[in-house]
């Protein structure tokens, strides 16, 4: 749920005639939880239901095998294939379960028009500039942005200059929300939350209004991918209002919460969904008690698998493990993880960290793809023991 926005030309009352130049606009309610949850109301020049063909799409969903025998992993995204591709059809699935899947993509060109009918998507921009064009308009994003694309929104990713963007993509089976603990009873971001409404960016105020006919849209459902050919271009919306739309939050606008002694990961929480949370680790002052141990204590996340994407900076707690920018670690339930040897000693006398990382904690075990196993560092599981 985000705050109310209003864009373009809409009538004063909902569900009343909206006549522009003799044409009555077609209303579309994008509503979650049937007609009971957050929604937006869009006004199209033509019927958004007018399709002229339905085809099977030749997109193969990623498959995941159980992480057995259970093992920690270090995946190097820098070793993944990164040729020409787009932000939707070139995704390389890495980890997944029935609640969420995580993929990585290097986009060099504009994606097809796409809507995901399974759940919300969250895209973290690791590098490059891009524009998310959707029925709601244009949203420009860049490095460090989280971009939430609600379920069912027809959109495409336009990659800017230089024509290359690296994206970490979370495809959820649920809606991705701002954590309840940050909100007042009426839904405002509360004082003390690590970000505020001023940090949330929505689509630009000008509608896209793109003309076209016989326009392909790639549709993802739980059973696979289809292609719908729309008679008219879906980006024909003259105006909309409501609380459901694509939005962005920069990780650089996340204000860290620090303490005299170590604060647990929930202070870094940024998003919540069914079966998972997503957290941001940003540059911050270390714990300031003279006796504080500044690196995280060993922990057994008995109810979750923990995935960390290392976006930028130094990662003191992982020094010596080979982890660097572009790495993804997976510390599954059943494995007790903690700082690598020497990390605590190195942290003494240091008063801040420049690390930038995105964490996904899932409450069901994650399966691993072949593509992920191909870039998994075989030595990582032994890095705490100083070798096998």
Q: Which residues bind Fe ion (CB under 5 A)?
A: 306
Nearer to Fe ion, 103 or 304 (CB): 304
Q: Shortest distance, CB of residue 295 to Fe ion, whole angstroms?
A: 11
Minimum gap (Å) between residue 78 Cβ and Fe ion: 22
Kindly tell me which of 253 and 306 has the beta carbon lying closer to Fe ion: 306
Q: How distant is the alpha carbon of residue 243 from its chain centre? A: 18
Measured from the CB of residue 298, what is the shortest distance to Fe ion in angstroms?
A: 9
3-state secondary structure of 253: helix
Q: How far is the CB of 240 from Fe ion (least distance, A)?
A: 41
Torsion, CA 74, CA 77, CA 81, CA 85, rounded to 10:
140
Q: How far is the CB of 317 from Fe ion (least distance, A)?
A: 9
- Looking at beta carbons only, is 171 or 306 nearer to Fe ion? 306
Could you tell me the two tokens for 309? 């994407």
Give whichever of 203 and 339 is closer to Fe ion, judged by the CB atom.
339
CA 213 to chain centre: 31
Q: Is 318 helix (H, G, I), strand (E, B) or coil?
A: helix
CB of 361 to Fe ion, least distance (A): 8
Q: What is the rounded CA–CA span in Å between residue 278 and residue 272?
A: 6
Give the separation between CA 140 and CA 158, rounded to whole angstroms: 9
Q: Which residue is nearest to Fe ion (CB)?
A: 306
The alpha carbon dihedral of 304, 307, 312, 313 has a sign of positive
244 vs 357, beta carbon nearer Fe ion: 357
Nearer to Fe ion, 198 or 298 (CB): 298
By DSSP bridging, strand 352-353 and strand 284-285 are: antiparallel
Where do we find the tokens 């109301």?
Answer: 41
- CA–CA separation, 137 vs 236, rounded Å? 10
């Amino acid at each position: 749920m985000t705050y109310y926005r209003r864009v373009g030309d809409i009538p004063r009352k909902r569900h009343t005639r909206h006549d522009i130049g003799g044409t009555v606009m077609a209303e579309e309610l994008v509503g979650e939880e049937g007609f009971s949850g957050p929604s937006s109301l869009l006004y199209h020049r033509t019927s958004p239901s007018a399709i002229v063909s339905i085809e099977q799409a030749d997109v193969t969903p990623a498959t995941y095998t159980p992480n057995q025998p259970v093992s920690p992993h270090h995946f190097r995204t820098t070793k993944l294939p990164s040729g020409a591709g787009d932000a939707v059809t070139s995704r390389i699935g890495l980890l997944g379960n029935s609640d969420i899947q995580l993929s990585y993509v290097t986009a060099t060109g504009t994606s097809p028009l796409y809507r995901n009918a399974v759940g919300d998507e969250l895209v973290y921009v690791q590098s490059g500039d891009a524009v998310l064009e959707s029925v709601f308009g244009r949203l420009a994003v860049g490095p460090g942005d989280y971009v939430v694309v609600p379920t069912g929104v027809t959109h495409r990713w336009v990659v800017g200059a230089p024509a290359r963007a690296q994206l970490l993509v979370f495809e959820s089976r649920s809606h991705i929300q701002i954590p309840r603990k940050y909100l007042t009873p009426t839904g405002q971001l509360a004082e003390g939350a690590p970000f505020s409404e001023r940090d949330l960016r929505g689509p630009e105020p000008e509608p896209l209004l793109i003309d076209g006919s016989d326009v392909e849209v790639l549709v993802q459902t739980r059973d696979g991918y289809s292609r719908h050919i729309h008679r008219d271009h879906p980006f024909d919306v003259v105006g909309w209002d409501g609380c459901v739309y694509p939005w962005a939050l920069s990780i650089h606008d996340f204000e860290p919460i620090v303490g005299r002694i170590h604060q647990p990961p929930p202070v870094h929480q940024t998003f919540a969904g069914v079966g998972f949370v997503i957290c941001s680790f940003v540059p911050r002052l270390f714990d300031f008690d003279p006796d504080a141990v500044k690196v995280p204590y060993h922990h057994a996340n008995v109810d979750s698998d923990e995935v960390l994407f290392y976006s930028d900076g130094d990662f003191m707690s992982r020094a010596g493990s080979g982890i660097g920018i572009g790495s993804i670690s997976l510390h599954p339930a059943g494995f007790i993880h903690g700082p690598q040897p020497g990390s605590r000693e190195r942290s003494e006398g240091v008063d801040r960290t420049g690390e930038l990382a995105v964490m996904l904690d899932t409450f069901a075990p994650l399966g691993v793809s072949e593509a992920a196993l191909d870039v998994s560092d075989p030595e990582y599981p032994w890095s705490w023991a100083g070798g096998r």
